[in-house]
Amino acid sequence: MSHDVRMWIDLIVLCGVALVSIGLAQYLARFRVPEVSVYLLVGLLLGPHVLRLVDTGVVERSSAVPELLLGFVAFMLGERLTTRAIARQGKLFPVISILALVIPFVLVAAGVYYGLNAPLREALVLGLFAMAGAPATVLAVGSCLSAKGTRHDLLATLAASDNVFVVVAYGVAAPFLVAGVKQSWTVTSALSEVGITLLGGLGIGLVGGWILLLLTKKATADSTGGSMAASLLVVATAVATSHILGASGLIACAVAGITVATVQERRESELSTFRALSGLEDIVYVFFFVFAGTELVPGALLSAGTLAAVYIVLRAVGKVAAGAIGGLLRRDPKREVALLGVALLPQAGVVVGLALDASARFPYVGAEMLSVVLAALIVFELVGPITLRSALTVFTEIDAGERDGSDCAVPQAHPADR
């Protein structure tokens, strides 16, 4: 079969899978099944590990697509990571964010190292992975529920900031953790890799963000198409450039998004780039989660064994505990305190890329870490959206009640922000 014919067949398969996903999600919506869970299940069932309609060849030939989709999501999340956006989450946001990072890290790293006597580098890396969240899942489930309240914003901002921190922390730690494993390792080479990964991503993001600002400086409500096209081209160029140079594409796209959002906030632009892109979110989420589903390996739950079980349990405990403590600090009602932690359970996207990097970087324990992450994703990607939907449903009702009440009452600040 010629390359051209194979390419078009791949396109037909991917579009067909996406259409099946959308149709099935619409049907199962009556049973309150989250769209994200449907997309993941379709990707899992039709992917290379079950029915193989989307086989390994299709996934490998389309390997650039997930990176582009992740870059788009990172760019969109930039709107939630500006100083103004973070300030809107209240004075306790930095504390809650630190809790959501530190508690899972400590529990998983300590449990793996002391409980299972695993190598220190493996325990530390799995601890870093445990901190990551799933901002795309929060945005997708929130979009399905039309959730626009303060609590949904808090969850999305938490997941986004946590993922950026994890990418930065792994980018700094990984080059040094290979000391003693990589024969050619030197401090200079490690520092050089850190510089390329982080500073390269930062530089690419700043340049991309300012180019986009120049292209959309005079954008109006009638020029949505031009803003959308320019944004997509900048994201694609940032991802490709980062990949070639060895920089972090996620950091590059997030920085570009933060740059654009910050400047447009100050300018009070007539047309926000992010509003122009809002029409593309649904199709991005379909392909993003279908591809994520193809990465799930059902047998990983068994092959990863005790290590995966410890990781899953301790990460879940850590996230729930962090959310509960954060809710108590915010003086939320007891019902909200419990739900906030449960809503932090989803994990997807960026952690897969980091695990693949770890599997290549650490020859003795890398494959085991990848199996653990893939096993955990089966739980957190399939169960997480359901728990998140339940929490967001309650949060949306509370936020709607607060908005309705504001028409006849004096608005009250959150107790924690007084």
Residue 413, pLDDT above cutoff 50: no
C-alpha closest to that of 308 among 36, 122, 45, 100: 122
Residue 162 pLDDT? 92
Supply φ then ψ for residue 205, to 5 degrees. Answer: -65, -45
* Distance of alpha carbon 186 from the chain centroid: 32
Task: Place 68 in a pLDDT band, splitting at 50, 70 and 90.
Answer: very high
C-alpha closest to that of 311 among 102, 131, 165, 134: 131
- Burial state string for 153-181 with b = 16 or more CB within 10 A and e = fewer than 16: bbbbbbbbbbbbbbbbbbbbbbbebbeee
Spatial distance between the Cα atoms of 69 and 135, rounded to a whole number of angstroms: 13
Task: Place 417 in a pLDDT band, splitting at 50, 70 and 90.
Answer: very low
Helix 120-131 / helix 350-361 crossing angle, nearest 10 deg: 170
Residue 271, pLDDT above cutoff 60: no
From the CA atom positions of the chain, what is the Rg in Å?
A: 21
pLDDT tens, position by position, 177-220: 888 777 778 899 999 999 999 999 999 999 999 999 998 887 66
Spatial distance between the Cα atoms of 148 and 400, rounded to a whole number of angstroms: 9
Let me know the angle formed at the C-alpha of 73 by 69 and 75, rounded to the nearest 5 degrees.
Answer: 115
CB atoms within 10 A of CB 51: 11
DSSP 286-349: HHHHHHHHHT--TTHHHHSHHHHHHHHHHHHHHHHHHHHHHHHHTT--HHHHHHHHHTT----T
Residue 322 pLDDT? 94
pLDDT tens, position by position, 357-381: 888 888 778 888 988 998 898 889 8
Length of the chain: 418
DSSP conformational letter for 119: -
pTM of the predicted model, to two decimals?
0.85
Task: Place 407 in a pLDDT band, splitting at 50, 70 and 90.
Answer: very low
High-pLDDT (> 90) share of the chain, %: 41
Residue 401 pLDDT? 62
Spatial distance between the Cα atoms of 289 and 38, rounded to a whole number of angstroms: 9
Q: Can you tell me whether residue 62 is helix, strand or coil?
A: coil
Spatial distance between the Cα atoms of 91 and 300, rounded to a whole number of angstroms: 41
> Rounded mean pLDDT of 268-275?
70
Residue 415 pLDDT? 47
pLDDT tens, position by position, 281-313: 888 889 888 888 888 888 776 777 899 999 999
pLDDT tens, position by position, 33-43: 888 889 989 99
